[in-house]
Structure 1
Amino acid sequence: MNILVLGIGNLLLSDEAIGVRIVEALEQRFTLSPQVDVMDGGTSGMELMGDMACREHLIVADAILTGSPPGTVTVLRDGEVPALYTRKISPHQLGLADVLMALHMTGEFPQRLTLVGVEPESLAVGIGLTGTISRSLDAALDQVVAALRTSGVTVTEKEVDHV
């Protein structure tokens, strides 16, 4: 297996950072099988192409604008994902759409693609998630873990040290 969990987001635009915060929580709370790469993609675009190419499963965590109430977690799979990214939702996502299109053209598109998206409450300049989005982080993380498990990945919760 060759799986990538990619968190996308801008840490300087409040809830836009949710994708990055999801992958941070994944690494902090869980131990994953060695065939899984976890990456903070930040606001990168085409420079992620090599990391995303030829994956058996690409799981992207991100803020998405679907018109749902803030904090809503949406899971899209395979062909549903590129269609969503044709709309410019945030500054980096046009770059992600370009990468996905380029991967299609080069025959390096992932065999499976899952997007775990969270509807932001605020995209204003500021560091830190709003309370609404902070409360949605666990639900989004659960969806990432579920996507990993559907690919046969062993996901083990780390033991918490009680001080």
Structure 2
Amino acid sequence: MAILVLGLGNLLMSDDAFGGRVVEHLQEHYVFPQGVSVLDGGTLGLDLLPRLEGVARLLLVDAVDMQARPGSVFRLEGEEVPRAFAEKLSVHQMGLKDLLAVAELQGCLPGEIVFWGVQPGCIEMCLEMTEPVAEVLPRVVEAVLEELRRWGVAWRKAA
């Protein structure tokens, strides 16, 4: 069963880099078994469609505006995921909504989708995340690892 951990966001736009930074941390510090891919999807949107083919479980990580306090962490699953992006209007989040819709139309939507997100404090041009968002990155990394463990993934720390 193929699993994809997909971080989304723009590394040049402060807290919007969150998904990419989580994936970067996972790639640097952990080893995953065959069948588990960890990918920085950046802002690619529909260009990611081929990456969903054959994926049974999709774990998304991104910054999302939920009108909450910066650094607030959210977990969504199943039908909650596309609904959460129905009203969110950043460039790649519209792309994510489209990606999930087209994947469903083409019959390659993963059977299980989980989203881990953080409320951004700033999405302006800057290479650093704000303090409240940077502080929760380790917490979300641990949550992603725990989610994978629940899915039966035996990951290990890199040497």
- TM-score of the aligned structures, taking structure 2 as reference length: 0.95
Gaps of at least 5 residues in structure 1 are none
Do 2:33 and 2:154's aligned partners in 1 also have CA atoms closer than 8 Å?
Answer: yes
Instruction: Name the residue aligned to 1:18.
Output: 18
Separation in 2 of the partners of 1:8 and 1:132?
A: 19
Instruction: Name the residue aligned to 2:63.
Output: 63
* 1:117 Cα deviation from its structure 2 partner: 0.3
Do 1:64 and 1:89's aligned partners in 2 also have CA atoms closer than 8 Å?
Answer: no
* 1:108 Cα deviation from its structure 2 partner: 1.1
Separation in 1 of the partners of 2:143 and 2:89?
A: 21
Tell me the C-alpha RMSD between the 2 structures: 1.1
Cα-to-partner distance string for 1:72-116 (whole Å, 9 max, x where unaligned): 111111111010111234211101100100111111110110111
Separation in 1 of the partners of 2:89 and 2:139?
A: 21
Alignment of 1:129 with 2:140, yes or no, is: no
1:1-163 equivalence runs, <5 A: 1-159=1-159
Separation in 2 of the partners of 1:119 and 1:89?
A: 14
* 1:157 Cα deviation from its structure 2 partner: 2.2
Separation in 1 of the partners of 2:126 and 2:112?
A: 34
List structure 1 runs of 4+ shifted beyond 2 angstroms.
none
Identity fraction in percent: 35
- TM-score of the aligned structures, taking structure 1 as reference length: 0.93
